[in-house]
């Protein structure tokens, strides 16, 4: 039988299988970070639903910029706080992703004269950068004794996908709203699952 959750197996000298639980170090980290994974996931689901409920019936470029800008700022702040609870390359990558999100969000809110094409490129760059950083960070974490990195890879994949389809959809606002809402909701669901997994492992801290 495979090793459940995030534990790993190794063989003793006698050939018996011994189960090694996740390290206390990761359990301690999980205890600090799971609320912020859950926060980012919840924000994404809420704003994704807002994209469907508010923007599709009466969406304008300005209302879309406001919704996506506020979401990017809140996600960036949560990502930045989350980064402070990690160490090493993860802290740096998450910190950069948080800063990029805040910068993009502020630009989306204050740059009232942007065209639809310019806004789409800004959205695509933001999504591609934060998605790419998420993927790189979780590739680095693959060697650790937990499986939460898989959910991070999924989140990063949705970010990259949003960046690509944003350019493909340009400059159709309705299509862009659909793509953005679906990708952000799926991103949020992956974040909620990751936060729940981290919470289960936090008792090891």
Q: What is the mean pLDDT of the chain?
A: 81
pLDDT band at 177 (very low <50, low <70, confident <90, very high): confident
Q: How far apart are CA 81 and CA 91, in angstroms?
A: 10
- Annotate 89-125 with b (16+ C-beta within 10 A) or e (fewer): ebeebbbbbbebbbebbebbbeeeebeeeebbbbbbe
| CATH class as words, domain 24-204 | mainly alpha
Nearest to 101 by CA among 152, 141, 44, 45: 44
Asked if pLDDT for residue 46 goes beyond 60, the answer is yes
Of the ranges 29-33, 105-109, 120-124, which one carries the lowest mean pLDDT score?
29-33
């Amino acid at each position: 039988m495979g090793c459940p959750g995030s534990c790993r197996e190794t063989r003793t000298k006698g050939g018996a299988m011994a189960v090694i639980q996740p390290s206390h170090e990761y359990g301690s980290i999980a205890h600090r970070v799971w609320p912020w994974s859950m926060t980012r996931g919840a924000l994404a689901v809420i704003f994704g639903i807002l994209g469907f409920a508010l923007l599709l019936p009466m969406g304008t470029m300005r209302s879309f910029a406001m919704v996506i800008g506020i979401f990017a700022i809140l996600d960036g702040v949560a990502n930045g706080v989350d980064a402070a609870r990690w160490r090493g390359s993860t802290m740096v990558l998450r910190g950069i992703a948080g800063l990029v999100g805040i910068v993009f969000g502020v630009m989306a809110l204050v740059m009232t004269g942007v065209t639809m094409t310019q806004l789409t490129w800004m959205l695509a760059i933001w999504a591609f950068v934060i998605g790419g950083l998420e993927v790189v960070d979780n590739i680095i974490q693959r060697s650790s004794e937990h499986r939460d990195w898989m959910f991070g890879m999924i989140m990063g994949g949705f970010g990259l996908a949003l960046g690509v389809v944003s350019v493909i959809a340009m400059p159709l606002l309705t299509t862009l709203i659909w793509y953005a809402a679906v990708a952000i909701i799926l991103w949020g669901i992956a974040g909620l699952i990751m936060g729940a997994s981290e919470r289960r492992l936090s008792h090891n801290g």
